[in-house]
Amino acid sequence: RAKEQGQSRFKVFNKRMREEALRLLTIETDLRRAVERQEMRLHYQPVVALEDGGLHGVEALLRWTRTEGGDISPAEFVPVAEDTGLITSIGAFALEEVCLQLSRWNEAGLPQPGVVHVNISGRQFMQPGLPYAVEMLLDRTGTDPRALRFEVTESVLMRHGSQAITVMAQLRDLGIRLCLDDFGTGYSSLGYLKRLPVDSIKIDRSFVAGLEHDRDGQAIVRSIVSLGLHLGLEIVAEGVETPTQAEILASLGCRYAQGFLYAPPVSADDLAAMLGAAPFPSTGGGVFAGGSV
Ligand code: C2E
Ligand code: MG
Ligand code: MG
Ligand code: MG
């Protein structure tokens, strides 16, 4: 009986693995076509100053609508793109599109949306000649490097160590700022942050989600914020969904936030409309003043 159960479990496992492999293969095939047909777009999510609700910047996020099968999240296709190497052309597209969008806003006489965060995957980051290619792109599109901030995750550093730090330094020499994304989810020690040429960190959504109900969650965020402040880093909390989370973050000394509480990622046109509108909710004397922590 035990053996029978074991076998049927094995079959289920096998079937799931086959389905998963097939799914990834389909994404890969579609992804290749998507790159050729330029089916990708970028959306932009506001990064807001907690104190006054002012727009501090935006994060560019890839959006892909498959001709068959509808929208598919970058959380799903970026890892496939990374594995297959397609990420280098997708990443190049995203970066170029951000630069072109900045000049479109500029030409339309719109205010710049502050610093634009661009996610750079590990493979793209470690691609030989990336800093040079970026320099050429900035030149060609007339982009001010100070308008850009590249987001990388700790995994790049863990995998590529000092080589990654060299690339970071080269990018920073170009005038591009750097942010450590999903901070706290890697397994690296907090101490090494000091050695990195980053000027900001993003507290991962999973820690923000734990802020309201669990004391450990608050303790973790408190220590990330205090470490970051000591090192003179700008700290952005991601995935802020409730006023209470915003209040707690502000009380812990975090100054910037991003999340559905303020706005989801939106198209470039929708963002442009937002730029002229009223500030976002704030913790300091604004809409949410008086909210208890
Ligand atoms: P990320 O860089 O950590 O981006 C934040 C993700 O959280 C985005 O998911 C965003 O839509 C989502 N988010 C924002 N606010 C909230 C909130 O309040 N609640 C919840 N539950 N989620 C929120 P998205 O757009 O699906 O992107 C997922 C990941 O895909 C990104 O995580 C990033 O790692 C990757 N990605 C997206 N665009 C690019 C890109 O252009 N290049 C590269 N290499 N990776 C990208
Ligand atoms: Mg990011
Ligand atoms: Mg995250
Ligand atoms: Mg993130």
Q: What are 60-75's pLDDT values in tens digits?
A: 999 998 877 788 999 9
Residue 110 C-alpha to ligand 4 middle, in angstroms? 27
pLDDT of residue 271: 94
ipTM for the predicted complex: 0.98
Residue 152 C-alpha to ligand 1 middle, in angstroms? 12
Decide whether any atom of ligand 1 lies within 6 Å of the 71 Cβ. Answer: no
Nearest partner of 112 among 44, 49, 174, judged by Cα? 44
pLDDT of residue 280: 86
Q: How far apart are CA 12 and CA 6, in angstroms?
A: 10
Which residue bears the tokens 């949410």? Answer: 288
Decide whether any atom of ligand 1 lies within 6 Å of the 94 Cβ. Answer: yes
Helical ranges in 109-241 per DSSP H? 122-125, 130-141, 154-173, 205-209, 215-230
Please compute the mean of the pLDDT values over residues 251-255 and round it to a whole number: 96
Mean pLDDT of the residues in the chain: 89
Q: How far apart are CA 249 and CA 243, in angstroms?
A: 10
Residue 151 C-alpha to ligand 2 middle, in angstroms? 6
Q: How far apart are CA 173 and CA 131, in angstroms?
A: 9
- 24-55 pLDDT, tens digit per residue, is 888 888 898 888 888 899 999 999 999 999 99
pLDDT of residue 70: 84
Highest mean pLDDT among 156-165, 189-198, 221-230: 221-230
Contact (Cβ atoms closer than 8 angstroms) between residue 138 and residue 105: no
Q: What is the C-alpha radius of gyration for the chain, rounded to an integer number of angstroms? A: 21
Decide whether any atom of ligand 1 lies within 6 Å of the 97 Cβ. Answer: no
Please compute the mean of the pLDDT values over residues 15-29 and round it to a whole number: 86
- Surrounding ion ligand 3 within 5 Å at CB are 182, 204-205
Q: Is it the case that residue 97 has pLDDT exceeding 60?
A: yes
Q: Is it the case that residue 188 has pLDDT exceeding 90?
A: no
- 121-134 pLDDT, tens digit per residue, is 999 999 999 999 99
Q: Is it the case that residue 58 has pLDDT exceeding 90?
A: yes
Decide whether any atom of ligand 1 lies within 6 Å of the 119 Cβ. Answer: yes
Please compute the mean of the pLDDT values over residues 79-91 and round it to a whole number: 93
Tell me the whole-structure pTM to 2 decimals. 0.91
